Structure 1
Amino acid sequence: MSVAKHALNWTSVMVAVPVGCAASLVTLGFRGVIELINHLLFHSGQEITQAMTVWPWFCWPLIVGLGGVIAGFFLNYATTLERSATLKTDYLEVINARLDAVPTKTSLFRALSSIASIGSGASVGKEGPMVQLAALCGSMMGRYCFKSLALKNSDVVAMAAAAGLASVYHAPLASAIFVAEIAFGISALQRLIPLIISSAVAVMTMWSLGFRSAIYPFAEAQFQLSPATLAVTLLVGVLAGVTGWLIIFLIGRSKQLFSRINNLPLRLGIGGFAVGILAIASTDILGNGYEVIVTVMAGGVLLKALLLLLVLKLLATALSVGSNAVGGLFTPSLLIGALLGVSVATVAGLLGMPVGNALLFAAVGMAAVLAAVSQAPLMAMLMVLEMTLNSSLLFPVMIAAVLAAMVVYRLQTTSSYPVVTRHFSRADAWVDFDNGIIAQFIVSGAALQPHESVGKALAVSSLKRERFVYIINAQEQFLGVVSIHDISHKILEHELTLDSPVSQVMDENFPCVYQYQTIREGWEAFAQVTLERLPVLNNPQERKFMGALTKTSLIQQAKAFI
């Protein structure tokens, strides 16, 4: 059956319901595996930051390092499969490239690698592999359950990915926005509605199973917008942008350093060992940081500890991600943002600024750093609002998130998601296409004066491999063109000789463009003719010949954003 022309149809809406339900169950299963490992390894149901303390401190580097080695073996097998089969495993890449399916084996082995990293305390989030597995579940449902429906498999994958993320953070709207914003590069309503339905069903499933609460406890507190709090919000936004840039920079440098180690198990083992060393200063850097965020929001961390933990978490995350530990950046970014926001507000309060409840700036920082790292500000602000269920945070979160994203963008930092970088490149190419001028693409063109012979025109055409030769006067004004086809025909009909002047066969009404017209106007000019080249003049009044514009050059320019 052919695929529906529009993404929004009743089929996609109906499919979104079971996909959302299945995706939420997959994320619960992954969470259960992590909890089982905690029970087996630490005999505890607590988060890793507390569970690790059942072992003496000198064992911590060994535990995290050994987890990295095991993760490396799984990841090495997955990457070997990807290279041999030239697969794209990441669900965002599958959605963006409109591929047929999420690869099963590589997704599962990457998930096992992530379980080993997360279970041993690597500083990565759970959301990455959880959403990947949800996307894999959606892909399998699309291939086996909805094969006969008029629906692309990549659209089912997108629904499952949004539902998986919504299950993790209980933020359906933000999750739908994330997939649309990152993978599609747009937030078009037609593609967004099935994602919203799938995400909402996933959260409703979680609620029906007893997981119904705000992720972070800020539902009752009220943010007081004033000149002082606005100033602090702006400062948090700028600093969050710089911090986001620093996170991406440190991860990039870490990847460069770890890339010298070709053996994946050794690479992840060293990364885990290094994180374990940092954990000696504070176990709060271990894991994704969820429970630490709750502690920070409750005011249980002093300023010095906040700043120390901020630095340590930055380093731990760079080491874990840089060593190729499979996991997400969402929750680590949220923790770093919470630490930054509370630190800035606390310092402002100590300086005498009436900032009110400094702990509320944890949410502001969370949205800002997440927006900076992901370069998806709309998703970041919606996610924090949904996780805190606090509408009073709307304006400060919006301001800080957009400001942080702009800072990172102006610093020309690539996103932590390569798909976003490609979307930005296409957007920039589109702007260049709309604002560029024809003068940027002028090439030389064969030109003769009216008195020169048709024989010379034939020779120039053969040398330049051009169908038309342009005719200009002594002042280089454009007069018209001669067609090599017309010359050959007239010579064969004995209407011309090789010594005849080209003025006898000159076409004075040949279409042209001007050097300061936009590229889009040049494109439209080519759309009216079947020519490969058009003469370029300086302006309509002087009509001085400048060269030629080729259709190929415009196609290459358009290729960058198509």
Structure 2
Amino acid sequence: GFFLRYATAIEQKATIRTDYLEVINARLDAVPTKTSLFRALSSIASISSGASIGKEGPMVQLSALAGSLMGRFCFKNLPLKNMDVVAMAAAAGLSSVYHAPLASAIFVAEIAFGISALQRLIPLIISAGMAVLTMYTLGYRSALYPFAHAQFALTPENMLLTVLIGLLAGLAGWALIWLIAQSRKRFSRVKSLPLRLGLGGAMVGVLAIGSTKVLGNGYEVIVEIMAGGFMLKGLIALLLLKMLATAISVGSNAVGGLFTPSLLTGALLGVVVATLASLAGLPVDNAVIFAAVGMGAVLASVSQAPLMAMLMVLEMTLNSSLLFPTMIACALAFMVVYRLQSSSTYPVIQNHFSRSDAKFDFDNGIISQFIVSGAALQPQDPVGKALAVSSLKRERFVYVINETGQFMGAVSIHDISRKVLDKEITLHSPISCVTDDTFPYVFENQTIREGWEAFARVTLERLPVLNNAVERRFLGALTKTSLIQKAKDFL
């Protein structure tokens, strides 16, 4: 708690971001060293005390910090941005923890960048692969959860269970995120960070009276589940207790990851559903194999990175028969969480969703929502009136419409001033003599994107808006500023 309080104080004072995902998303130059180290020390203390959090959080953060330092001091002469080096280091760190190089690269691409572009993925995959190779060299050569002996049979019953697990995993992920949010809200009333962490640890300790399996990240428990070492009642109780313990630990600001707790929650859910289906008379050959399906589905719903979750289960188990059912379950779980409008575990995901929604609105929204009033006169009005209206409205052009409101063109105030000074016209001349009938315009039912493209072809700040190509009735003006304001939400 004291370590975390010190790190938080530094962040607030210097207004810096420590989390590597936020550093990458904000395109910052470096991962802060001091706050990363103090947060890692806080995480070590929390994990050692049995907090229900994953070890991957501080390990990946320290990997990102190492990459940031190398980018600043070792790779200065290479055409690499420090942000890219941080992303590569983060992918390598996650890969070394879970022995899943491809899923780790996809995770950083999905969460940090919000894309899966080839130019981003290649260096991430290389760094993640080298990390796994290093772990193999050090003797860690087996899959994290060896489960290659079981095969998933593509039967109607198994696929029905897969769909059910995917939907329930989405609800479980939503429930876990909601519990964490509620836990954070209540723990925020405790202003002292050390006291807050201590209180969270005490509450997890009380839950551990019911089962000591809720302590830690849950790796050993997943191995036991895959070995078939639990009864149904124990699985259900552990599922509920683990979700509560995780919400309490994360809500009390314990520094750590949610990967392994999510995997354990999914494994418990998958086995419980398969066991209940078997008791109900559904032919289930091996209930344990659905633990892996549940792992991927809950991880997809909590992280909101379904592609990463699919690949991670495949790489952690080295069981290719799990790929298809895991794809189905992960997609369904992600859709459920998305439809429930759940807040994300990673704040940067909300930024990606917001940018995506803003771009969709920009591409499909209609110009009519941005129409503002525009100065308009009739052809017989004198040019002196056009000058007066322009001065009042502070507009360079005055639009010309006939008595029925049909758009006839526009007059330039600069052209009027020049011709009056050259004595080509007088202030009493009708504006019809200086009207440009080829003046560009847009229609109200065109998309915002089409309006943007229309501005790209001219040097104007405003364009007249007409109702349609037949009536050509003048409705107002579209401003370039309004489109720029709309576009900045996703640029």
CA–CA separation in structure 2 for the residues paired with 1:456 and 1:357:
86
Q: What is the CA-CA distance between 1:339 and the residue it aligns to? A: 0.6
TM-score (norm 2): 0.98
Residue of structure 1 aligned with 2:410, choices 456, 468, 481:
481
How far apart in 1 are the matches of 2:388 and 2:244? 68
Distance in 2 (CA, whole Å) between partners of 1:442 and 1:502 is 24
Aligned partner of residue 128 in structure 1, secondary structure:
helix
Shift of 1:414: 2.1
2:90 match: 161
Q: Does 1:125 align with 2:54?
A: yes
- How far did 1:472 drift? 1.0
2:261 paired with 1:327: no
Report what 1:60 is aligned to.
none
Query: 1:4 maps to what in 2?
Result: none
Q: Secondary structure at the match of 1:497?
A: coil
Shift of 1:367: 0.2
Amino acid of the residue matched to residue 326 of structure 1?
V
2:163 to 234, 245, 248: 234
Equivalent runs, 1:511-522 vs 2, <5 Å: 511-522=440-451
Letter in 1 for 2:466: L
Partner Cα distance (1:230, 1:443) in 2 = 55
Q: 1:437 aligns with which of 366, 372, 375?
A: 366
Please state if 1:280 is matched with 2:194: no
Query: What residue in structure 2 maps to residue 470 of structure 1?
Result: 399
User: Counterpart of 2:188?
Assistant: 259
Extract structure 1 runs of 4+ deviating beyond 3 A. Answer: none
2:313 pairs, out of 384, 388, 394, with 384
State the distance in 2 between where 1:265 and 1:419 align: 27
Query: CA deviation digits over 1:394-419, x for unaligned, max 9?
Result: 11000000111111111111210111
Displacement after TM superposition at 1:150 (Å):
1.9
Q: Does 1:108 align with 2:34?
A: no
Describe the superposition over 1:181-231 as per-residue Cα deviations: whole angstroms up to 9, x where unpaired.
111111111221111111111111111111111111311100111111111
Aligned equivalents of 1:553 and 1:151: distance in 2?
36
SS at match of 2:262: helix
Measure the CA separation in 2 of the matches of 1:454 and 1:168.
76
CA distance in 1, matches of 2:133, 2:141: 9
Q: Which SS does the other structure have where 1:280 is aligned?
A: helix
| Residue 137 of structure 1 pairs with residue 71 of structure 2 | no
1:308 matches 2:237? yes
Say yes or no: does 1:94 pair with 2:23: yes
Q: Distance in 2 between matches of 1:116 and 1:253?
A: 24
User: Which blocks of at least 5 consecutive residues in structure 1 are unaligned?
Assistant: 1-71
Counterpart selection for 1:403 from 323, 332, 343:
332
The CA RMSD over aligned residues, in Å, is: 1.1
Measure how far apart 1:320 and its partner are.
Answer: 0.7
Superposition deviation, residue 517 in structure 1: 1.1
| Counterpart in the other structure of 2:454 | 525
Partner amino acid, structure 2, of 1:220: H
Q: Deviations over 1:84-104 (max 9, x none)?
A: 111111111122222221111
Q: How many residues align?
A: 491
Q: Deviation at 1:433?
A: 1.2
Instruction: Confirm whether residue 269 of structure 1 aligns to residue 235 of structure 2.
Output: no
2:140 is aligned with 1:211: yes
Structure 2 letter corresponding to 1:176: A
Give the Cα–Cα distance (whole angstroms) in 2 for the partners of residues 257 and 382 of structure 1.
36
Give 1:265 deviation, angstroms.
0.7
1:127 and 1:412 map into 2 onto residues whose CA distance is: 27
Kindly state the Cα deviation for residue 254 of structure 1 after the two structures are TM-superposed.
Answer: 1.0
Range that drifts further, 126-135 or 420-429: 420-429
**Separation in 1, partners of 2:448, 2:268:** 48
1:247 alignment counterpart? 176
Q: Which residue of 2 aligns with 1:534?
A: 463
Task: Provide the rounded CA distance (Å) in 2 between the counterparts of 1:442 and 1:248.
Answer: 41
Compute the TM-score of the two structures, normalised by the length of structure 1: 0.86
Give the AA of the match of 2:67: G
State the partner residue of 1:18.
Answer: none
Where do residues 14-33 of structure 1 align in structure 2 (5 Å cutoff)?
none
Instruction: Name the counterpart of 2:5.
Output: 76
Distance in 2 between the 1:509 and 1:136 partners? Answer: 59
Tell me which amino acid in the other structure corresponds to 1:515: E
How far 1:496 sits from its partner (Å)? 2.9
User: Per-residue deviation at 1:500?
Assistant: 2.5
Structure 2 residue 452 is the aligned partner of structure 1 residue 452: no
Counterparts of 2:358 and 2:432, CA distance in 1: 42
